[in-house]
């Protein structure tokens, strides 16, 4: 505990964390850049070693490939969800989303025309649908703005006004 100025209050100092604590509540709250670098290097080393061990397994390689393209396909979902929660796309660049959509469309068409593995085409289509959903949100929330949610006033707080 650290004593505060001249008052009798005490300010609780944050606990010291080390690289090996693995407290999920603080996982993304890096105290030092080196902790982040260590995490990335450890993750890369462990996954690289596992991949090396299972390189001959077509099931592992196909699953890893699917997870990679599926993760990329889902990149827009957090933005889609945030827009839905806020009932707004304020601050979003429509040009950026249009560029995402065009790039994802061209990529998906390329996958289909070149008969790439099935997961590429499916994930590409999923990515295009997410992009289109975000564009629909831009249209809906800009042309049909949502009414703000009314909050019921607490009786005690109205007396103060």
The reply to whether 155 falls in a domain is no
pLDDT score of 45? 96
pLDDT band of residue 8 (cuts 50, 70, 90) is low
pLDDT digits (tens, 9 = 90+) for 138-150: 989 888 776 655 5
Whole domain around residue 96: which residue ranges? 58-143
The pLDDT of 130-158, averaged and rounded, is: 73
Cβ neighbors of 12 (< 8 A, separation 6 or more) are 1, 2
Q: What pLDDT does 161 receive?
A: 44
Does residue 76 lie within any of the structural domains? yes
pLDDT: is 19 or 45 the higher one? 45
Phi-psi category of residue 147: left, alpha or beta, with phi > 0 → left and psi -120 to 50 → alpha: beta
Does residue 47 lie within any of the structural domains? Answer: no
Q: Is residue 107 part of a domain?
A: yes
Q: Which helix (H) or strand (E) holds 3?
A: strand 2-3
Query: What angle, rounded to 10 degrees, do the helices at 118-143 and 94-113 form?
Result: 160
CATH, residue 71? 1.20.1280.290
Asked if residue 31 is part of any domain, the answer here is no
- Looking at the 3D structure of the chain, how many domains does it have? 1
């Amino acid at each position: 505990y650290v004593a505060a100025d001249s008052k009798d209050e005490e300010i609780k100092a944050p606990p010291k964390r080390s690289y090996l604590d693995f407290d999920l509540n603080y996982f993304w709250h890096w105290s030092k850049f080196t902790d982040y670098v260590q995490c990335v290097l450890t993750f890369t080393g462990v996954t690289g070693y596992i991949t090396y061990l299972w390189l001959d397994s077509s099931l592992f390689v196909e699953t890893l490939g699917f997870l990679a393209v599926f993760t990329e396909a889902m990149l827009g979902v957090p933005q889609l969800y945030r827009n839905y929660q806020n009932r707004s796309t304020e601050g979003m660049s429509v040009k950026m989303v249009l560029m995402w959509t065009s790039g994802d469309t061209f990529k998906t068409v390329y996958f289909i025309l070149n008969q790439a593995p099935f997961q590429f085409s499916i994930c590409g289509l999923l990515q295009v649908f997410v992009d289109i959903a975000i564009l629909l949100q831009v249209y809906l929330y800009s042309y049909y703005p949502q009414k703000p949610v009314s909050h019921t006033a607490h009786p005690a707080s109205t007396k103060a006004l």
